[in-house]
């Protein structure tokens, strides 16, 4: 079970970090658009569609990574006062009641949309460039599958917590600036 959790976390981290590099391409694309639009009065017909697709891809493909690191928003003003075992029981119930049905719906609906889009090589109707969007609709399916894989890992974390009353810590490869500053301040006070 622990090995599956680590494997799912590694897969989620790889996909999230890999697709995160799209932000650089999106930045260059939008910078180019601003340059040619405002300095040369020659806007591109493709920039808006491409930026939407890249941002959507970053958002979708980062979901499993965010889930693996415990980064999704939760209303835990009561939850955090509970014993870890009780937290895990509630989390596991919510995964089965809401998360997995939602992700299954995402995968099946996304599959339908992507298959239809690939069948006629769909292009965007929002720009005169006719930017292809069928590959973007495939991202919906891939992101849903990655979320399901990570969701199973999260359920395994819940089972581990129910047995041991301690949460298996998520990998930490990024840290909020505020948390980093608090750690540095605490270390400075200890010296």
What's the angle, vertex CA 32, arms to CA 27 and CA 37, rounded to 5?
A: 130
pLDDT at 44: 82
Confidence of residue 111 (pLDDT cuts 50, 70, 90): very high
Q: In terms of Cα–Cα distance, which of 167, 136, 147 is closest to 16? A: 147
Contact 4, 166 (CB under 8 A): no
Does residue 155 or residue 17 have the better pLDDT?
155
Write the pLDDT tens digit of every residue in 168-183: 887 777 666 777 788 8
Does residue 11 or residue 46 have the better pLDDT?
11
Per the document, the length of the chain is 191
* Tokens describing residue 178: 């505020």
* Average confidence score pLDDT of the chain: 88
pLDDT at 94: 93
Spatial neighbors of 142 by CB under 8 A, at least 6 apart, are: 61
Task: Give the three-class secondary structure for 132.
Answer: strand
Q: How far apart are CA 166 and CA 169, in angstroms?
A: 9
Query: Which 8-state DSSP code applies to residue 133?
Result: -
Question: Which residue blocks in the chain are alpha helix, DSSP H?
Answer: 2-20, 22-38, 47-61, 63-68, 84-94, 100-119, 134-164, 177-190
Does residue 153 or residue 184 have the better pLDDT?
153
pLDDT at 4: 92
Write the pLDDT tens digit of every residue in 31-52: 888 999 899 988 887 888 888 8
pLDDT at 122: 86
Provide the CA 110 distance to its chain's centre, in angstroms: 16
pLDDT at 175: 63
Entry pTM: 0.81
Instruction: State phi, psi for 123 to the nearest 5 degrees.
Output: -125, 160
Neighbour tally for 179: CB within 10 Å: 10
Q: Where are the domains of the chain?
A: 2-169
Residue 21 burial by CB count (10 A; 0-12/13-18/19+): exposed, middle or buried?
exposed
Write the pLDDT tens digit of every residue in 66-102: 888 887 777 777 888 889 999 999 999 999 999 999 9
């Amino acid at each position: 079970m622990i090995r599956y959790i680590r494997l799912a976390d590694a897969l989620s981290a790889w996909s999230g970090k890999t697709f995160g590099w799209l932000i650089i391409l999106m930045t260059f694309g939008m910078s180019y658009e601003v340059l040619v639009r405002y300095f040369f009065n020659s806007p591109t017909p493709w920039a808006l569609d491409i930026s939407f697709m890249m941002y959507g891809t970053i958002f979708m493909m980062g979901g499993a990574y965010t889930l693996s690191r415990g980064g999704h928003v939760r209303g835990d003003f009561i939850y955090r006062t509970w014993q870890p075992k009780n937290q895990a029981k509630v989390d596991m119930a919510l995964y089965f009641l809401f998360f997995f049905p939602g992700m299954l719906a995402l995968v099946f609906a996304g599959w339908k949309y992507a298959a239809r889009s690939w069948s006629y090589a769909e292009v965007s109707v929002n720009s005169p460039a006719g930017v292809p969007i069928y590959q973007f609709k495939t991202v919906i399916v891939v992101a849903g599958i990655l979320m399901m894989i990570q969701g199973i890992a999260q359920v395994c974390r819940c089972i581990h917590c129910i047995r041991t009353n301690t949460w298996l810590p998520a990998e930490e490869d990024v840290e909020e600036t505020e948390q980093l500053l608090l750690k540095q301040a605490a270390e400075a006070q200890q010296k």
